[in-house]
Structure formats: C-alpha cells, structure tokens
A and B are shown apart, each in its own frame.
Chain A
C-alpha cells in the first residue's frame, strides 16, 4: 500500500543525505560541477573534432549534444540512487532499520529516487544554463536553444514523464543490490556508460548497428531526451507528444515489471536473511 508519509519521509532523508553534509546551497553548486564539466567535455570534443577536421561548425548540432549530455547525466545521476541507497544503507546499518518497519523497502527506495530527481533536475538545468553561456562566449557562437515559458513547460513535463522509466531501472538495480555485497558500487559506471552509448545523448542512435539502433531508439530514456530536444531545439509539438507518449508508455511498463521483480527479490532476501549482510 502506498503511504505518502513514508514516501515523503524517505525523500526528505534523501535530501538530507545528499545536501546536508555541507551547507545545502554549496552542496547544490558542487553537484552542478560534474554535469557541467561533462557537458563541456563533449561540447569541446565536437568543436575540436569539427574544427581540426576541416568540417563546418553547426551550432544546432552543438545544441543537440549539449542538451543530450546534460540530460543523460541527469538520468544517470538519479537512476542508480536506489542501488546506492541499499548498498550504503546495508554498509552503514541503515537499511536493516528500514526493512524492520511495517512498509516495504520499495517505498524507501522510491522516496530516495524522487529526492534525487529533484536535486538532479535542479543541478542539471543549472549545468545546462551555465554551459550554454560559457560555451557561447568561449566558442563565440550562438547555440540555438528555444527558451520560452512554453518550451520550459514542455521540458518540465518531459522530466516528470521520465520518472517511471528511471525508477524502473532503479528498482531493477536495487533488486540486485539486495543480494549483492561487493560489486554494486560499480553499477553507476555501467548505467552512465550505457546511457551515453544507447540513449542517443551524444549522437543519433541510427549510427549504431542495425537491431541495436532500433531497440535504442525506443528506449524510454532515448525518447525522453528526444522529447526534450523537441521542446528546446526543434519546437516540434507533434514529435514532442509522440516521444513523450512513448516514453511514458515504455516507462510505466518498465516500472511495473521492475517493481514486481524488486518485491519478489525483497521477499526472498528477507527469507534468505541477506538484507543485513554487509560484506560478502
């Protein structure tokens, strides 16, 4: 049963965990640094590659890469929070207290993911804005982004529409973390790397081999980034709605399957007595 009180308590705990280790504004600024640097890196790669290969610099292509890189970093940074919440919780003996409560740990995981979504949305958009201005000055170009109330509203809707898919991925990884006690720490690297390659964040999925590109183009994360580009770059409402609809559809499907997997893993983990196992 859904308990909003438990959900909010978990989300608040997540906010405290992520921001209260220093002053919250400083923590937010520090969390903006990584997505900003990541966006700058891929944008400079584009500039460098084009400039030194005698190709024509295309500001629209730069905008494509900038938006994609910021949003892939956003998804990567909150999709793996369930994994870390469980792994770190087991290591620091917080997680056994969570499962002793009357609620399923799925609520705790959801709350932590939602708090991370809120933080990551803030820092990713800040990183996008700062990178936009820095790159515009640095490369002396105009990056073609449409910033209007309507486009920002469309982006906000796309960000929320991606929550089911990211939470679904989080539950899958979390189900693994319930049992793992060694390798779960490196899952974030895999998640970030896979999203870089298969979500169309930096290049069109059409350059991937046949079959892989078809699957990649229908991933909810690819559709989310595509919808965000439709909102911020192309301004195409029809394509935006199509991508958004498919993203929600795929995301809800993924969430339902992964929640079922997570709850089954949780039941079995309780039975096997591995929820409080710290180290293998």
Chain B
C-alpha cells in the first residue's frame, strides 16, 4: 500500500508542473460558476461554487486516476505484474487512493484560496464537523473508485467513454454546485433518494451543512452514518469483484490482453 501511494505521490510532487496543469478545470469551472452566481445577484451562494470546485478535483481524480487506472495499467502491462506480486490488489488500490487524495490536496487548497481571495464567500463552519465530513466523504468516494476500477477491468476502450458519460451527470445529480437533496433541492423526492446512493451526493450535502449553516444534529449525522456504511460496502464490493474478475481473467487468459 505504501509503495503504491509513494509512486503516485512521486509522480505528482516529483513534477511540480503537474499541479499547475491539474488545477485547470477545478479552478476555472469554480470561477465560472461563482461568476454565474454573482451575475444573477445570488452572491450569497458563491461558497457552493467554490466548494464544488474543490470536490470536482477529487471526483475527477476518482474517475480518471482510480476507476480507469487498472485499465491503463493493463494496457501498459503493469497489471500482470501486480497480480504476480505477493501484494494484495486491495492494498494496491488503497495505496492508489491515499496517493490520489494527498496529491489532489494542493489543487483543493488552490481552488479554495482563489475562491476566498476573489469572492470572500460567507462561511459559518463547525470545523470539527467539516473535518469528519470531509474524511468520510473522501473515504466513501475513493471506495467507489475502487469498485469502479474493478468493473472497468472488464472493459477495453469503453472504460474512458464510460468515464466521460459518468462525469457530468454525476456532478449534476450529486449537487456539486447546488443542493440536490434536502429542502433546497430542485429534484423530486424519489430522485433525491436514488441520487443519495452516490457518496458524493451525501458528502456534498453534509459539507454544505457543516460549512455554510449550523447543521441540524440529526440530518448531518444521518449523512455521516450513511457515508461510513457506503465506504465499507464499496470497499467490500471492490475486494470481492476484483477477486472474481482476477479468477475469470486467469481462467479465460485475458489478463494480459491489453487492448480490445
């Protein structure tokens, strides 16, 4: 786990230009949507756009550096080496997650700093709750990434297309930039229930509550409880499906098939 995390960290921090490159979309989309809130006279919600910019960096990292990673590793011939090494695949995935989280922190900090300097969004934070919420959101989000990573192993070129299909709709329904669950949500209740199965949705809801309002004890802790359950469940699903797919790959002889 430590070895895989260090590889990821070295690939990011060993090339500082990489940080400059990776902040592009989170910073600019956050800036654009903050300006949208500002231009329509709803400046009091600019904090939602800044928070969305921070979390879109992690969501992008989950999709492109977790979900797709094994698929790319397979194309490059690395996945066979993982399987033949004595290391557990789950440990490798956890290492990738830890490296991804730490590697994305600079982007998150820069988005926050730029949003803060330019717009001074109003914050009424319970910082303890924010820290717990942030940790649980990332844990469940990266556990989802591990699950997707195992599923994407089945695919060839389709994996990248699936990522492109997933990125925007999930950003929308999970309420990266506006509340998608709760009393402020524009969505019907049934849809709110469905989208609550995505960890990002509950994470964003809990983060908004703990950062921008005095959260109700029950509503916040319900979100946090659900996030914790999701983190464990996705981790278990990822471990199970990876094992199953590895066995299938060994049986069918497709583990070393690089491009389909």
Contact = CB atoms under 8 A, between A and B. Distances in A.
A189 interface: yes
Interface residues of B, number: 42
A46 B36 contact: yes
Contact of B21 (A33, A52, A183): A183
Interface centre among B25, B157, B161, B171 (most CB of A within 10 A): B25
Interface string B141-169: 00000000000000001100100110111
13 contacts: A34-B167, A37-B168, A41-B177, A45-B177, A45-B178, A48-B179, A49-B36, A49-B45, A190-B24, A193-B29, A194-B28, A202-B36, A208-B35
Contacts of B164: 31, 34
Contacts of A194: 28
A193 B45 contact: no
Contacts of A210: none
Interface string A2-29: 0000000000000000000110000100
Given A42-B36, A49-B37, A55-B40, A196 B29 contact: yes
A207 B38 contact: yes
B41 interface: yes
Of the listed residues A22, A30, A49, the one surrounded by the most CB atoms of chain B closer than 10 A to its CB is A49
B169 A37 contact: yes
Interface residues of A, number: 44
A98 interface: no
A197 B49 CA distance: 13
Given A52-B45, A193-B31, A197-B28, 6 more contacts: A33-B169, A42-B36, A48-B45, A48-B184, A183-B17, A203-B38
B39 A21 contact: no
B108 to A, nearest CB: 15
A144 B176 CA distance: 27
A55 B28 contact: no
Interface in A173-212: 182-183, 186, 189-190, 192-194, 196-197, 201-204, 207-208
Contacts of B49: 45
